[in-house]
Structure 1
Amino acid sequence: MATKALVIINCIILAIGNCGGPLIMRLYFNNGGKRIWFSSFLETAGFPIIFIPLFFSYLNRLRRNNNGSENISFFLIKPRLLIAAVLVGILSGFDNYLYAYGIAYLPVSTAALIIASQLAFIAIFSYFMVNHKFTPFTINAVVLLTVGAAVLGMHTETDKPVHETHKQYVIGFLMTVAAAVMYAFILPLVELAYQKAKQPMSYTLVLEVQLILCFFASLVSLIGMYIAGDFKALLIEAREFKLGEAMFYVVVVFSAIIWQGFFLGAIGLIFCASSLVSGIMISVLLPITEVLAVIFYHEKFQAEKGLSLALSLWGFVSYFYGEIKSEKDQKRIQQESELASLSRTISEC
Structure 2
Amino acid sequence: MEEGKETEKKRFLKKILLIINCIIQIGGTCGAPLVARLYFLHGGHRVWLSSFVQASGFPILLIPLSISYIRRRRNYNRNRVTTVATKPKIFTMKLPLFIVFTVVGLLQGLDNILYSKGLASLPVSTASLIISTQLAFTAIFAFLLVRQKFTPYSLNAIMMLILGAVILALNGAGDGPAGESPKTYVMGFILTIIAAALIGFILPLVELAYKKTNQTINYTLVLEIQLVASFSSALFSLVGMFINNDHKVVSREAKNFDLGETIYCVVLVASAIFSQLSGLGAMGVVFCASSLMSGIMVAMTVPLTEILAVIFYKEKFQAVKGISLVLSIWGFISYFYGEYQQTKKMKKNSIKENEQPQNPNNINYV
Shared fold, TM over 0.5: yes
Instruction: Give the 3 Å change call, closer, same or farther, for CA 157–75 of structure 1 in structure 2.
Output: closer
Could you tell me the percent identity over the aligned residues? 52
Inter-partner Cα distance in structure 2 for 1:264 and 1:54: 13
1:261 aligns with 2:272: no
Which residue is equivalent to 1:235? 251
Aligned to 1:61: 72
Corresponding residue for residue 104 of structure 1: 120
Residue 357 of structure 2 is matched in structure 1 by: none
2:61 — aligned with what?
Answer: 50
- Match 2:220 to one of 204, 213, 218: 204
Query: Which SS does the other structure have where 2:120 is aligned?
Result: helix
| Structure-to-structure mapping, 1:213-252, within 5 angstroms | 213-252=229-268
8 A contact 1:44–1:217 mirrored in 2: yes
Taking a change above 3 Å as real, the CA distance of residues 234 and 180 of structure 1, as seen in their structure-2 partners, is: same
The reply on whether 1:117 has 2:133 as its aligned counterpart is yes
Residue 211 of structure 1 deviates from its aligned partner by: 0.4
> What is the aligned partner in structure 2 of residue 270 from structure 1?
286
Greater Cα shift, 13-22 or 134-143: 134-143
1:106 Cα offset (Å): 1.3
**RMSD (Å) for aligned C-alpha atoms:** 2.4
Determine whether 1:14 maps to 2:30.
Answer: no
How many angstroms apart in 1 are the aligned matches of 2:324 and 2:182? Answer: 21
1:161 match: secondary structure? coil
Task: Name the counterpart of 1:280.
Answer: 296
> Does structure 1 residue 95 correspond to structure 2 residue 111?
yes
Deviation larger for 131-140 or 207-216:
131-140
Q: 1-side partners of 2:154 and 2:67: how far apart?
A: 41
1:156-188: CA deviations, max 9, x gaps? 653433231111111111222211111111111
How far does residue 123 in structure 1 lie from its aligned partner after superposition? 1.6
| Alpha-carbon spacing, 1:64–1:318, altered in 2? closer, same or farther (3 Å) | closer
Task: Identify if the C-alpha distance between structure 1 residues 143 and 19 changes in structure 2 by more than 3 Å, giving closer, same or farther.
Answer: closer
Q: Is the 8 A contact 1:110 1:305 kept in 2?
A: no
| Distance verdict in 2 for CA 1:141–1:131, change over 3 Å | same
Change (3 A) 1:300 1:167: farther
**TM-score, length-normalised on structure 1?**
0.87
- Aligned pairs for 1:298-313 (under 5 A) are 298-300=314-316, 312-313=328-329
1:181-196 → structure 2 map (5 Å cutoff): 181-196=197-212
Q: 1:24 aligns with which of 31, 35, 45?
A: 35
Q: Kindly state the Cα deviation for residue 300 of structure 1 after the two structures are TM-superposed.
A: 4.5
Match for residue 14 of structure 2 among 3, 11, 17: 3
Uncovered stretches (5+) of structure 2, i.e. residues with no partner: 1-11, 352-366
- Map of 1:36 onto structure 2: 47
Change (3 A) 1:108 1:121: same
8 A Cα contact 1:54 1:207, kept in partner: yes
Rounded to whole Å, the distance in 1 between the matches of 2:19 and 2:284 is 10
Q: Deviations over 1:43-78 (max 9, x none)?
A: 110101111111121122221222385333210000
Aligned match of 1:77: 93
Deviations 1:126-173 (A, max 9, x none): 112112112344444444555555556668653433231111111111
Is the Cα contact below 8 Å between 1:152 and 1:305 reproduced in 2? yes
CA distance in 2, matches of 1:289, 1:47: 23
Task: Give how far 1:312 is off.
Answer: 4.5
Distance 1:39 1:22 in 2: 11
Given the superposition, is the C-alpha separation of residues 293 and 75 from structure 1 closer, same or farther in structure 2, using an over 3 Å criterion?
A: same
Question: How many residue pairs align between the two structures?
Answer: 335
Deviations 1:11-34 (A, max 9, x none): 222222111111110111111001
User: Secondary structure of 1:94's match?
Assistant: helix
Q: Is the 8 A contact 2:118 2:127 kept in 1?
A: yes
Aligned equivalents of 1:228, 1:333: Cα separation in 2: 60
Report if aligned partners of 2:303, 2:321 keep a CA contact under 8 Å in 1: no
CA distance in 2, matches of 1:148, 1:135: 20
Alignment of 1:157-176 (within 5 A): 157-176=173-192
Show the counterpart of 1:289. 305
Q: For residues 84-127 of structure 1, what are the alpha-carbon distances to aligned partners after superposition, in whole Å with 9 as ceiling and x for unaligned?
A: 11111010000111111222111112222222222222122111
2:4 is matched with which residue? none
Off by >6 Å, runs of 4+ in structure 1: none
Matched-pair contact (CA < 8 Å) for 1:123–1:138:
no
The answer as to whether partners of 2:161 and 2:300 remain within 8 angstroms in 1 is: no
Structure 2 distance, partners of 1:132, 1:100, is 30
Aligned to 2:9: none
Structure 2: which amino acid aligns with 1:171? M
